[in-house]
Structure 1
Amino acid sequence: MVDLGPMFFAVAIPAVLFAGVSKGGFGGGVAFAASVFLALILTPGQAIGLMLPLLMVMDLTAVRAYWRRWDWPVARRLMLGALPGVALGALLYKVADADVVRLLIGLVALGFVAFQIARARGWLRIERRSVSPVVEYFWGGVAGLTSFISHAGGPPAAVYLLTRGLTKTTYQATTVLTFWAINAFKLVPYGALGIFSRDTLTASLILAPVAIAGIQLGVWLHRIVNERLFFALTYAFLAITGAKLIFDALT
């Protein structure tokens, strides 16, 4: 049961707004932070079940904002690669208990922060280069798997997209289109696994206007905001929250 009290909305409204801003203006790579934050007050299943309908609302809003500004061949390869990743995620979720999922969400969050710090300090360089179809579909598969577990497909997708030398807006539009499809792929398995409930769907409906507002705010901020400040704050919150989830899972 989801307690729709003041504490829930104190966490959920900023989390959903943040996810919308990320998807609408900053490539969507950190939109999964909303699920990480929600997992502090909900079970992992409730957190991802609540977020999927909201992410789909955001996707539809963002696709309209970036219509046909994407790189279709790049998006198509990621979508096709994501299908087996989503299937694997469904199998893993079926056999894992809540603490295992909580641990995985926390590890993904910390892994993402470590990846970004390594890039910023020059320890890891991702350069534009030609890659084989196997590599392209592999990253799509990883994106599908992590997206299923914690809506965290953005980071592995970024590893591939950053090699394509896309412009800021083409990168954003390609990400939006790709995860519109991946989130649609997840809808049926989420329902079959019982991840959705009446409570999570009710909460999603209540928070839908917040999701739409977040996308619109993100599209506006895409043009004017200092990206370094946005991501620096995001990484700090993710590191703290990811560590807390891992601690809870292990103890």
Structure 2
Amino acid sequence: MITLFSYELTYLAFVSFLIVGVLVGMSKTGVHGMGMIAVPLLAATFGGKASSGLMLPLLIMADVFGVAYYHRHAEWKHLIRLFPWAILGVLLGTWTGNYIDDQLFRTIMGVIIFLSLGIMVWLERVNKNKIPDYWWFAMILGIAAGFTTMVGNLAGSTMALYLLSMRMPKNEFIGTAAWFFMAVNWFKVPFHIWSWETINLNSVLLDLVALPMIAIGAYLGIFVIKKISDQGFRWFVMTMTAVAAVFMMF
């Protein structure tokens, strides 16, 4: 056993925690799906709701790497459309999170990921050249992204659906997502501290232990994404979403 900042961890749990750091770092520099694998991996050790509080500072630290590298590629018109609705989604997720247990949480997240994946594949095959540039499309997916990121730090598939629908090249996709999650993740912090009480000094100190692993993951992500074409990136995103969905459900 290892004792770190009031946490009693087995060696396997500690290694899993460090692996989560690598996966989160990779996810924030474009390797989509790594974050959705990291969420249930962390939940298996700490429980669903408690792990969401541990995950948030990890994500915020990783956001810094993503924004630092891809900040100039962000499409701000899409961010301006999404932010107000995402804030509403976070508020709904904060309220809902007080009334659902871990099993229901996993079921809801799995269903959301599968539905998102189905829509992404449909858009790719049936509606390939049309961009759904409507206010209501941004509203629905903005609320869904805010809700899923608050309840389980799992908005990656929802944002992927929106950004892929806008036909963004990979760098614009990653840069826009990086800014979106940095802003929304910071907005979530007060709710985790004072409403859910899932973030405290000990949890933040434990998260800092994983910072070197996040940095390694971030640089691995940059290396991997450079090797993938724009079209290959689209299918990579959809494939990794499928893998993450199966991981979450089973």
TM-score range, shorter chain: 0.7 to 0.9
Does structure 2 conserve the Cα–Cα contact (< 8 Å) formed by 1:83 and 1:144? Answer: yes
Deviations 1:6-52 (A, max 9, x none): 121232222321221122123x4552321122222221012211110
The partner residue of 2:213 within 210, 213, 217 is: 210
The partner residue of 1:51 within 44, 48, 55 is: 55
> What letter corresponds to residue 207 of structure 2 in structure 1?
S
Q: Is 1:148 the equivalent of 2:150?
A: yes
Q: Is 1:21 the equivalent of 2:23?
A: no
CA distance in 2, matches of 1:147, 1:187: 12
The partner residue of 2:242 within 208, 224, 235 is: 235
CA distance in 2, matches of 1:164, 1:37: 31
Deviations 1:87-111 (A, max 9, x none): 0000000122333323333434544
TM-score (norm 2): 0.83
Does structure 2 conserve the Cα–Cα contact (< 8 Å) formed by 1:18 and 1:214? Answer: yes
Does structure 2 conserve the Cα–Cα contact (< 8 Å) formed by 1:126 and 1:159? Answer: no
CA distance in 2, matches of 1:197, 1:37: 21
Does structure 2 conserve the Cα–Cα contact (< 8 Å) formed by 1:58 and 1:211? Answer: yes
Instruction: State the Cα distance separating 1:233 from its structure 2 match.
Output: 6.3
TM-score (norm 1): 0.83
CA distance in 2, matches of 1:30, 1:125: 27
CA distance in 2, matches of 1:23, 1:214: 9
Deviations 1:100-157 (A, max 9, x none): 323333434544555566667x4x6454325322321221111000111111112112
SS at match of 1:95: coil
CA distance in 2, matches of 1:112, 1:130: 15
Task: Report the CA distance shift for 1:183/1:126 in structure 2 as closer, same or farther (over 3 A).
Answer: farther
CA distance in 2, matches of 1:175, 1:73: 13
Does structure 1 conserve the Cα–Cα contact (< 8 Å) formed by 2:47 and 2:102? Answer: yes
SS at match of 2:71: coil
Deviations 1:131-184 (A, max 9, x none): 322321221111000111111112112222222222211111111111111111
Q: How does 1:1-251 map to 2 (within 5 A)?
A: 2-26=7-31, 28=32, 30-112=34-116, 122=125, 125=127, 127-192=129-194, 193-225=196-228, 232=239, 235-236=242-243, 238-239=245-246, 241-244=247-250
Does structure 2 conserve the Cα–Cα contact (< 8 Å) formed by 1:48 and 1:150? Answer: yes
Does structure 2 conserve the Cα–Cα contact (< 8 Å) formed by 1:29 and 1:152? Answer: no
CA distance in 2, matches of 1:204, 1:72: 30
5+ residue gaps in structure 1? 245-251
Does structure 2 conserve the Cα–Cα contact (< 8 Å) formed by 1:43 and 1:98? Answer: yes
Does structure 2 conserve the Cα–Cα contact (< 8 Å) formed by 1:55 and 1:183? Answer: yes
Does structure 1 conserve the Cα–Cα contact (< 8 Å) formed by 2:86 and 2:144? Answer: yes
CA distance in 2, matches of 1:52, 1:143: 15
> What letter corresponds to residue 243 of structure 1 in structure 2?
M
5+ residue gaps in structure 2? 1-5
Instruction: State the Cα distance separating 1:238 from its structure 2 match.
Output: 4.2
Does structure 1 conserve the Cα–Cα contact (< 8 Å) formed by 2:160 and 2:237? Answer: no
